A and B are shown apart, each in its own frame.
Chain A
Amino acid sequence: MAKKFYILVENNTQGMAIHHLLDEKGIENHISPTPRLLTDEAPCGMSILLPHASLEMAQACLNENEAKYIKIASLDDPFEPKRDRYM
């Protein structure tokens, strides 16, 4: 699994605005809980997850539309479907 990118936001209104904007432009993105490793940098429980392939297009789209967000952070291989660590 490749590197993943997270658009960190102040609140979910900001997050949802970015989600809709990227959707509108056909840029793959997903709503994700903010990974624990990044919560010091963002107060919001949700962030926008980008696959590597969406990163450049997403950045350009955010700039073009002057979208408000905190920053884009990255994590190596955050998912392990067979980790079997449930809640």
Chain B
Amino acid sequence: MSDYQKMWQDLGMDMEQHDMLCQVLPSAVGDVFLSQENRPKSMDFWDLVISEVHGIRPAELIEEQKKGRKVFGTFCVYVPDEVVVAANGIVTGLCGGSQFWVPGGEAVLSKSTCPLIKASVGARLGKTCPFFRIADIYVGETTCDGKKKAYEILGEDVPLYVMDVPQMKRPQDIIKWKDEIATFAKKVEEFTGNKLTVENLNKAIHIINEKRKALARVYNCRKSKCLPISGRDALLMMQISFFDDPERCAKMCNRLADELEERIAKGISVVPEGTKRILVTGTPLAVPNWKLHNIIETSGAAVVCEEMCTGTRYFENLVDETKESLDEQFMALSERYMKTNCACFTPNRGRIDDILRMVEEYQVDGVIDCSLKFCCLYDTEKRAVSQALKAKGVPVLSLETDYTDTDAEQLRTRIGAFIEILNG
């Protein structure tokens, strides 16, 4: 990626440290993705993006900034992309998924903070990720305690706006979130210099809905007994959708879905018949966190669905496109976003219902419920997830991990034993 050296220098990045991070990419991508046989041809787009992950998209963002557009960095699927897109802004997901950034976060955060937060803070403060350098403003949210405190620290270094996410899902909370979206819209207007109108917001709602529909098409193909794509490839597609241009993302996902549908019609599967089908649920898997999927899929099973924010929670439910005033549109946005079942809410029975539904829809043989270390919310919900699945006779394995490689062997042993049980 040395043809991007000048861009990284101009972004004020720590070139030496960044080079160390880049060193690991080729072998990790090779081991996890390129070693697979019979991958869908359309994965070439995501292979290109990941090969040049700190080059191609950052360069595009900088070009857009030169035209006066603003880049908003976000950390949660509750932040409504539609509002930013309507004001001609650009959204880029910023959640950190690499161990490389964790020590930088640990320097300023409590040790007992989850690795996703540590990595996100470390990526900014360590100056080793172009996306964290490019974003003109970060948008945080009051979801978990760890993030709330981390935003205070990030806010010392970069403009930061925090959205106040409700903790419950009563009718008054949906109204509260609508009002919060309206207040955010004012901030976006002020920051971009562009006014929101019914027309531009409806257009943005449509764009993001089309992206959701395209992602859903790919996931629908994973419901087939003839599995046309690996979990690793689907995860890569999903992770990259957080920072790609939404219209191109929809186009590429639709292209992939066309190929997957054709594969199903021809009976082309990436795994032998009878391979056990796993649903993975829990905390998000931010790029380049591929450990869990890789271990499962090199232990003889296949991941067919992710009930997580880097999965179904990102695309399920559409926003009503028929509203005729900004107030009604904000309400429609609130209604859609408040259907996302995150462990930050209480109660969170909706997540259990989603998992049970997806077990049926994706013809799942077993569930792996995995949370990041120090994520007390998802860790606590494991009990309810496990009870509900056991009551339905669905085997479940609960795990906790972080971004290090050191527990890989232990994970292989536990996941291998689980798959052996599924194989009977």
Residues of A contacting B: mostly:
loop
Decide if B47 touches A36 in the complex (CB within 8 Å): no
Instruction: Name the distance in Å between A57's Cβ and chain B's nearest Cβ.
Output: 17
A49 cross-chain contacts in B, Cβ below 8 A: 34
Q: Does A66 contact B (CB under 8 A)?
A: no
Q: B26 near A87 (CB under 8 angstroms)?
A: no
Is the C-beta of B3 less than 8 angstroms from some C-beta in chain A?
Answer: yes
Interface residues contributed by chain A, number (CB under 8 Å)? 29
Binary interface encoding of chain B residues 46-62 relative to chain A, with 1 for a CB under 8 A from any of its CBs, else 0: 01101110011000000
Q: How far is the CA of A69 from the CA of B295 in the complex (A)?
A: 36
Interface string of B10-32 (1 = CB under 8 A from A): 00000000000111111111111
**Interface membership of chain B positions 373-411, coded 1 if the CB is closer than 8 angstroms to chain A and 0 otherwise:** 000000000000000000000000000000101001100
CB of A25 within 8 Å of the partner chain:
no
Identify which of B3, B44, B98, B298 contacts A45 (C-beta below 8 A).
B3
Q: How far is the CA of A79 from the CA of B232 in the complex (A)?
A: 15
Is B1 interfacial (CB-CB < 8 Å)? Answer: yes
Complex CA distance for A52 and B45, rounded to whole angstroms: 23
**B288 lies within 8 A of chain A by Cβ:** yes
**Contact mask for chain B residues 269-296; partner A; CB cutoff 8 A; 1 contact, 0 none:** 0000000000000000000111100110
In the complex formed, the residue of A with least CB distance to B56 is: A12
What is the CA–CA distance of A84 and B50 in the complex, to the nearest angstrom?
18
**Which of A33, A44, A80, A86 makes the CB contact (< 8 A) with B26?**
A33
CB distance from A48 to the nearest CB of B (A): 10
Contacting A85 at CB < 8 Å: which of B1, B28, B47? B28
> Do A36 and B3 have beta carbons less than 8 Å apart?
no
Q: Is the CB of B98 within 8 A of A87?
A: yes
Which of B44, B52, B100, B412 contacts A87, CB < 8 Å? B100
Is B172 engaged at the interface, CB distance under 8 Å to the other chain? Answer: no
Instruction: Let me know if B99 is at the binding interface, CB within 8 A.
Output: yes
* Whole-angstrom CA separation of A25 from B169 in the bound complex: 55
By a CB distance below 8 angstroms, the chain A residues around B41 are 23
- Residues of chain A having any CB pair with chain B under 8 Å: 1, 11-12, 16, 19, 23, 30-36, 39, 43-46, 49, 78-87
Q: List 20 A-B contacts (CB under 8 A).
A: A1-B35, A12-B56, A19-B44, A31-B48, A33-B25, A35-B30, A36-B26, A36-B27, A44-B3, A45-B1, A78-B27, A79-B30, A79-B34, A81-B32, A84-B405, A85-B28, A85-B405, A86-B408, A87-B21, A87-B98
